[in-house]
């Protein structure tokens, strides 16, 4: 069944709740908790154990569960080899280490080569964090609910995840700025062409209405390290095939490697040589809706804590603990667990793990109560000058305007974050309106509507015309095979 009744209250209120994100200030200087340089790392120790011990001391013994996490799996074999020939040759001549190689405390990493690769990795992390937002938002917009049914719970869950993903993107931008990089957001290849194979994860996701298949893909995006090689109980082979189950890695693995590289560079060359960014570019935010905040990053301690907060809110604290960690409210589930609950139609309860899946109360969902539209809307699919093409182009234009504001925000103008909220208001309202406009290519009885078009538009870009490529950013590496 499909309906043309008003969108759910969770969707209508999304922009107002995004607007509860407030800019709490820019930190110009923070007392750094430095590495204990008097205690050189011991050779032969495990990467996460010995590096974690250094950071554990820097934190004064706090957050040990966060920092002494198990190593990520499925990253290193064949990792981006062949795309980095010039960098690889240079690095091997000096140390034998090439970008993407395993890192331990005996690994010598040239500062220039290591920093360039760190910038590339963080830029990729920003792209990954951003690339999931349009599919999540579109699914949210398509849900029909009266505000009291099970679908209202689904919409509210997706809404909160989207807001948290916006904060995750901000954190990744803060870390890149802290280590002397520059987030590139308003550029042709930053915006995915949906459907796209997600970097790192190696499976395809598109702009589609909410469905059980989309829910499966969303849980796969957020999957914890424990699910690198399998997809857990209760996942049908059909949905696994649709999602393009592959040897792709996880977002957890990306951040694990970033932390290892960043830490070794700091140990070998000193934090002052790594954290060279302008503190005035940092963005500090607080969201009353999800009860979370983003703090400025100015040193290794802050960077590691921020990145692992992102990891844990996405995938869970560890293989057995699917809660969101310190970034979430007390008792909050990770993004993986929340999407798993939606997909399985059942709630997690105490002692459930990523391996076990949820075993709590059933949460039935009406998967057909949606605004239906053709996947991956594009104005090119309609006659030039038609009302549909005009509507979709308007949406893409304003989405590009939002990216321009974000680019400025994270490149020295943090106060412009408020401008991005205004753009988000406009996109929210227009997306909801689009999904109530019939698609004239289909009979009225089919109840097929328009959907949002998340394309980057060159004519609305501020920086794209001058784009000639960012020297430390070669083509995206391929991960996991």
The pLDDT-based confidence of 13 (bands split at 50, 70, 90) is low
The answer to whether residue 466 scores a pLDDT higher than 70 is: no
Q: What's the average model confidence in pLDDT over 209-215?
A: 93
As given in the structure block, the two tokens for residue 400 are: 């590009």
Question: Is residue 418 domain-resident?
Answer: no
Q: What's the average model confidence in pLDDT over 157-172?
A: 91
The answer to whether residue 290 scores a pLDDT higher than 60 is: no
The answer to whether residue 261 scores a pLDDT higher than 50 is: yes
Question: Is residue 221 domain-resident?
Answer: yes
DSSP line for 362-422: B----TT-B-EE-SS--GGGS-TT-HHHHHHHHHHHHHHHHHHHHHHHTTT-GGGHHHHHH
**pLDDT value at position 384?**
94
Q: What is the mean pLDDT of the chain?
A: 75
Q: How many domains does the chain have?
A: 1
Distance separating alpha carbons of residues 29 and 278, to the nearest angstrom: 10
Question: Is residue 77 domain-resident?
Answer: yes
The answer to whether residue 253 scores a pLDDT higher than 90 is: no
Predicted TM-score (pTM) of this structure: 0.81
The pLDDT-based confidence of 455 (bands split at 50, 70, 90) is very high
Domain that holds residue 257: 9-376
Q: What's the average model confidence in pLDDT over 220-229?
A: 67
Question: Is residue 471 domain-resident?
Answer: no
The answer to whether residue 34 scores a pLDDT higher than 70 is: no
Most confident segment among 114-118, 222-226, 363-367, 381-385:
381-385
Residue 118 CA: distances (Å) to CA of 198, 264, 274: 20, 11, 10
Q: What's the average model confidence in pLDDT over 50-76?
A: 34
Distance separating alpha carbons of residues 140 and 14, to the nearest angstrom: 9
As given in the structure block, the two tokens for residue 422 are: 């205004």
Task: Dump pLDDT digits (tens) for 50-59.
Answer: 333 333 333 3
Question: Is residue 421 domain-resident?
Answer: no
Does residue 222 contact residue 314 with C-beta atoms inside 8 Å?
Answer: yes
Question: Is residue 417 domain-resident?
Answer: no
Distance separating alpha carbons of residues 390 and 234, to the nearest angstrom: 43
Q: What are phi and psi of 286, to 5 degrees?
A: -140, 130
**pLDDT value at position 371?**
94
The CATH number of the domain holding residue 47 is 1.20.1260.10
Question: Is residue 38 domain-resident?
Answer: yes
The answer to whether residue 89 scores a pLDDT higher than 70 is: no
Tally of CB atoms within 10 A around 107? 17
């Amino acid at each position: 069944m499909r309906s043309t009744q008003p969108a759910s209250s969770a969707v209508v209120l999304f922009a107002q709740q995004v607007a509860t994100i407030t800019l709490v200030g820019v930190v110009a200087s923070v007392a750094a908790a430095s590495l204990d340089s008097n205690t050189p790392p011991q050779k032969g120790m495990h990467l996460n154990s010995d590096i974690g011990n250094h950071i554990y001391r820097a934190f004064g013994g706090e957050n040990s569960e966060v920092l002494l996490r198990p190593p990520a799996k499925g990253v290193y074999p064949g990792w981006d080899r062949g795309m980095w020939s010039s960098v690889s040759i240079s690095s091997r001549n000096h140390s034998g280490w090439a970008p993407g190689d395993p890192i331990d405390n005996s690994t010598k990493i040239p500062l220039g080569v290591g920093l360039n690769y760190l910038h590339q990795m963080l830029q990729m992390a920003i792209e990954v964090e951003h690339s999931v937002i349009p599919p999540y938002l579109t699914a949210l917009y398509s849900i029909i609910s009266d505000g009291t049914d099970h679908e209202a719970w689904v919409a509210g869950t997706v809404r909160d995840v989207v807001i948290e993903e916006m904060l995750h993107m901000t954190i990744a931008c803060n870390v890149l700025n802290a280590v002397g990089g520059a987030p590139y957001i308003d550029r042709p290849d930053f915006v995915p062409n949906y459907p796209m194979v997600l970097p790192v994860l190696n499976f395809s996701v598109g702009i589609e209405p909410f469905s059980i298949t989309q829910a499966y893909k969303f849980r796969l995006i957020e999957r914890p390290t424990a699910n690198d090689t399998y997809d857990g109980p209760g996942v049908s082979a059909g949905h696994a095939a649709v999602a393009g189950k592959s040897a792709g890695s996880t977002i957890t693995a990306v951040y694990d490697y970033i932390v290892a590289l960043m830490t070794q560079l700091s140990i070998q060359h000193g934090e002052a040589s790594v954290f060279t960014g302008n503190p005035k570019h940092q963005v500090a935010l607080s969201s009353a809706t999800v009860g979370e905040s983003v703090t400025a990053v100015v040193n290794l301690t802050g960077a590691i804590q921020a990145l692992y907060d992102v990891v844990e809110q996405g995938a869970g604290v560890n293989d057995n603990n699917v809660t969101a960690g310190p970034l979430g409210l007390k008792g909050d589930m990770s993004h993986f667990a929340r999407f798993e609950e939606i997909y399985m139609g059942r709630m997690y309860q105490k002692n459930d793990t990523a391996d076990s899946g949820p075993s709590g109360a059933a949460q039935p969902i009406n998967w057909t109560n949606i605004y239906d539209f053709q996947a991956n809307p594009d104005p090119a699919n309609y006659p030039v000058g038609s009302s549909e093409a005009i509507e979709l182009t308007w949406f893409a234009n304003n989405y590009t305007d939002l990216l321009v504001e974000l680019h400025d925000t994270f490149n020295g103008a943090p106060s412009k974050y408020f401008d991005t909220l205004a753009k988000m208001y406009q996109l929210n309202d227009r997306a909801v309106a689009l999904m109530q406009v019939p698609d004239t290519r289909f009979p009225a009885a089919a109840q097929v509507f328009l959907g949002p078009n998340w394309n980057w538009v060159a004519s609305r870009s501020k920086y794209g015309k001058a784009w000639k490529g960012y020297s430390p950013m070669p083509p995206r590496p391929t991960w996991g095979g």
